[in-house]
Structure 1
Amino acid sequence: MRHRSRWLRLAALGAVPVAVAGIVNLPASPSSAAAPVSNGVYTLASASSGKCVNVVGASTGNAGLLAQLACDTSAGSQQFRVVSRNGGYGLVNVNSGRCVDVPYSSTVSGEQLWQWGCHAEPNQTWTFTASTASTDRYLIRSASSGMCVSNKDGSTAGGNPVVQEPCSDIARMQWRFNPTGSTPPPTTPPPSVTPTVAADGSGQYRTVQAAIDAVPTNNTQRVTITIKPGTYRQVVRVPANKPHITLRGLGSGPSNTVLVFNNSANSHGTSGSASMFVDGANFVAENLTISNDFDENSTSSGHQAVALHLNADRAVLRNVRLLGDQDTFLVNDRTRAYMVNSYVEGTVDFIFGGGTIVIDRTTVHEKRSSGGTITAASTPAEKAYGFLFYRSTITGTGSNNTNLGRPWRQGAQVLYRESSLSGTIKNSQPWTNMGDSTWQNARFLEYRNTGSGATVNGNRPQLSESQAANYTPQRYLAGTDGWNPM
């Protein structure tokens, strides 16, 4: 096994991440219903039932669920103001002042929608597409999940949940925007938005790097770069002097937009081999794939090949795939990051480094049938928190042959919490040593894991109930500024 240098060059600072852009496709001359436009106030009537979206119980708090109810244009719980948001729209309930929200940026079909305090992030951003089956109805698509607002099962019952489902131009996903008269909407619909990056020349830029290079140095406002589906083969760099950048794939899923290259440690060293380098603070990546497709058979050594080298404070990765073999994802020392609803795969030490990251509801996959080691944390001893795998799923192609981790530095800190561990994990001793660093002297922990790979024994240190309160995602991410991207 190769020896990796203990010292890596670092850079990054932080401020709060927000995101998103979208596409609006409206007919030139909608008939009886108004085209939804910014600052208009509407009820949203289902084509399958004739009933309207309603905040259950006229709740004014977070997590108030959405269901359909007989339409009442005077009811504030059914009135939604359309608010322009970075090329897409927010839907603000008039009664509560809270926004229609996809819970936790879920990508699960059938997830019931709710309201939450408004913020300019993709799980509260929507695009409106005119139905081809009816000239006065629209599909409402989430910028976060790519799914559409739906009257569950097309029911006509009052109280039926309003959910998200894969988009289809059918009655239960068609909505009529009925003006309430609270604020007369303007007569001119907003223009469509062209993707920023498109390899076929239909966007402003042909490469992702060209779009990043065009961002002003030391920008203080979020810049969202949308990327049309396709494969973009180029090393991508987000420098430290360009914070607040969002990269968002416009495809129906992360596999549609792929950023890829094939450098390796053989030619560039481990930390220099990445397909993407991110040093700019408040970075956000959504709905895309970052890959290193280096062929290990092409060289006899230097097989480390990083997909993403993340060295940025307050970074967020949503619905992202990270693909590689050895050393897929470098979470470098200045990193503080939140990864959710995503996928990471590799063979050896494929999540490694000295930074802090919460990996939430994400699939982590050991792709080698002979097994390997998932993490190689190098958390400095003075840093309380390293890697937290929270509510995630650990899978693999082998059986009882994969280690949860090994310490790249002796102070390494890794916790698997409330996660599902498959039979790929070694039951008797899932932690192992790395050089002179021993797993017994590292800070390796588990808590309330499930699955056939989650056996408890003397080689598997467990958090106590009292200790668990100090190892929550919020504690990992809070830092000194109270950051909470969850």
Structure 2
Amino acid sequence: MGSTGNKSDVTIVYNNASGTPKPGGGTYGTGGSATVAVEADDFQARHLQFVNDFNEANTSITDKQAVALRTAADKIVLDNIGAVGDQDTLLLDSASKTTVGRVYVNNSVVQGNVDFVFGRASAVINKSTIRLVKRYDGSSGGYVAAPSTAAGKKGFLFIDSTISGDVTSRSFYLGRPWHAGGDASLDPQTVVRNTNLSAAVKTTPWTDMSGFSWKDDRFAEYKNTGAGSGAASGDRPQLTDAQAADYEIADWLSGWQPS
């Protein structure tokens, strides 16, 4: 916990990337690049920020994924925190494909450009700011979410939040399905509801990934607002009111009430 209540007053920062060489040989890999890794249940963080300030302009490293915070456990609370990076900023995972990893992100800021909220956790991102940033070369474009949800489990729920940034209009997707390791049994899920979408969001907000079609997985919106929102279509599935009743925070947390 940061003692002032202002998350920008306390920063935990490092700069490994996936391709950063390890002292004993090899590279860190995406998960190993994390500035902070949480593998214990019942972890809470409040009033501070996690940063990975790896410089993507570093031409000696080609694998530029650089995680600020990785969680791989259950009943994780991230309240009034920042997760700041570029590609793969916030990895919300579980201990294994068969294990539930519930994460509650509240009143926080997550910044990045490519797949920067990703993993297989059952995560709620509530009343938070999703800040879109350009790439190191000034180009604009990317993806907010890359869920790798296991079949039968819940993925990412963005609710009562804001998705915006100083980027080019219509340059960012809301998400795409990450079938980690080419695992066709996964059923990635992201729902964005009651959220303000800036004009940075594409009019076709979901896209395919590594040969897997988003239409075969679980992607939907509900009552979003702002210039980046849009009406229901084949490219913009919208929940009905009846469906939305089962897509609330309590449904995601399955009996757990974060304190």
- TM class, shorter-chain normalised? 0.7 to 0.9
Structure 2 residues without counterparts, runs of 5 or longer: 21-27, 96-100, 180-185
Structure 1 segments of 4+ aligned residues over 6 angstroms from their partners: none
> SS at the partner of 2:243?
helix
Higher relative contact order (CA 8 A, sep 6+): 2
Contact 2:200 2:228 in 1 (8 A): yes
**What's the offset of the Cα at 1:398?**
2.0
Letter matched to residue 254 of structure 1? K
What residue in structure 2 maps to residue 269 of structure 1?
Answer: 29
**What's the offset of the Cα at 1:252?**
4.6
Q: Deviations over 1:414-473 (max 9, x none)?
A: 00011101100001x110111121111110010010011011232011111111111111
What residue in structure 2 maps to residue 342 of structure 1?
Answer: 108
Matched, 1:325 2:91: no
Using the size of structure 1 for normalisation, the TM-score is 0.47
What residue in structure 2 maps to residue 452 of structure 1?
Answer: 227
What residue in structure 2 maps to residue 475 of structure 1?
Answer: 251
Q: Give the alignment of 1:48-63 within 5 angstroms.
A: none
Structure 1 residues without counterparts, runs of 5 or longer: 1-247
**What's the offset of the Cα at 1:333?**
2.5
Q: Deviations over 1:79-104 (max 9, x none)?
A: xxxxxxxxxxxxxxxxxxxxxxxxxx
Identity among equivalent pairs (%): 44
Contact 2:124 2:158 in 1 (8 A): yes
What residue in structure 2 maps to residue 417 of structure 1?
Answer: 193
What residue in structure 1 maps to residue 209 of structure 2?
Answer: 434
> SS at the partner of 1:452?
coil
Aligned length: 234
Separation in 2, partners of 1:323, 1:293:
8
Separation in 1, partners of 2:15, 2:140:
24
Using the size of structure 2 for normalisation, the TM-score is 0.88
Letter matched to residue 10 of structure 2? T
Q: Give the alignment of 1:347-426 within 5 angstroms.
A: 347-368=113-134, 370-383=140-153, 385-396=154-165, 397-409=167-179, 411-426=187-202
**What's the offset of the Cα at 1:300?**
4.3
Separation in 2, partners of 1:252, 1:337:
21
Letter matched to residue 441 of structure 1? D
> SS at the partner of 1:274?
coil
What residue in structure 2 maps to residue 234 of structure 1?
Answer: none
Contact 2:36 2:70 in 1 (8 A): yes
Separation in 2, partners of 1:330, 1:437:
20
Letter matched to residue 303 of structure 1? K
- Radius of gyration: which is bigger? 1
Q: Deviations over 1:312-363 (max 9, x none)?
A: 2111011100000100000112421111110000010000001111000000
Q: Give the alignment of 1:210-289 within 5 angstroms.
A: 248-267=1-20, 268-289=28-49
> SS at the partner of 1:296?
coil
What residue in structure 2 maps to residue 485 of structure 1?
Answer: 258
Letter matched to residue 282 of structure 1? D
**What's the offset of the Cα at 1:297?**
1.4
**What's the offset of the Cα at 1:371?**
1.6
> SS at the partner of 1:271?
helix
Letter matched to residue 130 of structure 2? V
